[in-house]
Amino acid sequence: MAADLTILFRDPHVIAVDKPAGLVVHRGGWARERDVAMVRLRDQIGAHVFPVHRLDRATSGVLLFALSAEVAARVCESFAAGLTEKTYLALVRGVPPEEILVDHPLPPGEDSHAPRVSAQTMIVRREVFGRYSLVEARPLTGRLHQVRRHLKHISCPLIGDVNYGKGEHNRLFRERHGLHRLFLHATRLRLPHPIEGGWLDIASPLPAELAAVLCTLRESH
């Protein structure tokens, strides 16, 4: 039996959970497995839930669902209008500038040959550990794998990224730090409340396996 998801926030209209790495948000496309976040949460709370955004399978952190189709439509409008603020923590190879706006067009979806569209991510450097850095990434648009692709674009590939990262550094972190996942965590989601007004501000703590890597890096630098 699948473990219950940690609920970060719930009211009569929306519910936010802490998605673990390795769990798909919902079925569709290449995701055919039975255990997906949407179904697991539905069974956990005994009510239908409606996805309003996505996190990659390999990414952990804040994941929001609506509790009705009407609320889902309103939340999706906020995402489409750029009214949501998403923040990720990522460990990368390299030392980026203290702050940089990556403005690099990307394909809008899975088809890498599709015409590229505008894509922007703000990258803020938080800590440096020799040749590695902890960064905060704030995507201003919502393209597939945007944070991962933009970090690769500035030559700061994500640790643990088998698609856009560097195998030698991924192996080093597996062997030295026991890290067997992508070091990318959605730490915060801020958006207008779809019904009550005001702002929802939902945070997720760094998972233990990622916090342990940072602790080791800090001790050695």
Q: What residue type is 145 in one-letter code? A: H
Residue 100 phi/psi, 5° resolution? -150, 135
Could you tell me the residue ranges of all domains in the chain?
6-219
Residues 139-166 pLDDT 10s: 999 898 999 999 999 999 999 999 888 8
Residues 177-210 pLDDT 10s: 999 999 999 999 999 999 998 999 999 999 999 9
Q: What angle do CA 194, 18, 189 make, to 5 degrees?
A: 40
d(CA 16, CA 44): 13
pLDDT(33) > 80: no
User: Which CA distances in Å does 12 have to 50, 196, 199?
Assistant: 13, 10, 15
Q: What angle do CA 73, 74, 76 make, to 5 degrees?
A: 65
Beta strand residue intervals within the chain, DSSP E = 6-10, 14-19, 50-51, 60-66, 85-93, 99-103, 120-129, 132-139, 184-192, 199-203
Whether 56 sits among the annotated catalytic residues: the reply is: yes
pLDDT(32) > 90: no
Q: Half-sphere exposure of residue 35, counting CA atoms within 13 Å on the CB side? A: 10
Contact 190, 201 (CB under 8 A): yes
Radius of gyration of the chain from its Cα atoms, rounded to whole angstroms: 17
If you search the block for the tokens 């409340």, which residue do you land on?
A: 193
pLDDT above 90 covers a percentage of the chain that reads: 84
Residues 88-137 pLDDT 10s: 999 999 999 999 999 999 988 777 778 999 999 999 999 999 999 999 99
d(CA 101, CA 8): 30
* DSSP code, position 4: P
pLDDT(28) > 70: no
pLDDT confidence tier of residue 26, bands split at 50, 70 and 90? confident
pLDDT(30) > 70: no
In CATH terms, 6-219 corresponds, of 3.30.2350.10, 1.10.287.610, 3.40.50.20, 3.40.50.12160, to: 3.30.2350.10
Q: What is the pTM of this model?
A: 0.93
Burial 67-105 (b: 16+ CB within 10 A, else e): bbeebbebbbebeeeeebebbbbbbbbbebeeebebebe
* DSSP code, position 116: P
Catalytic position from the list 4, 11, 43, 56: 56
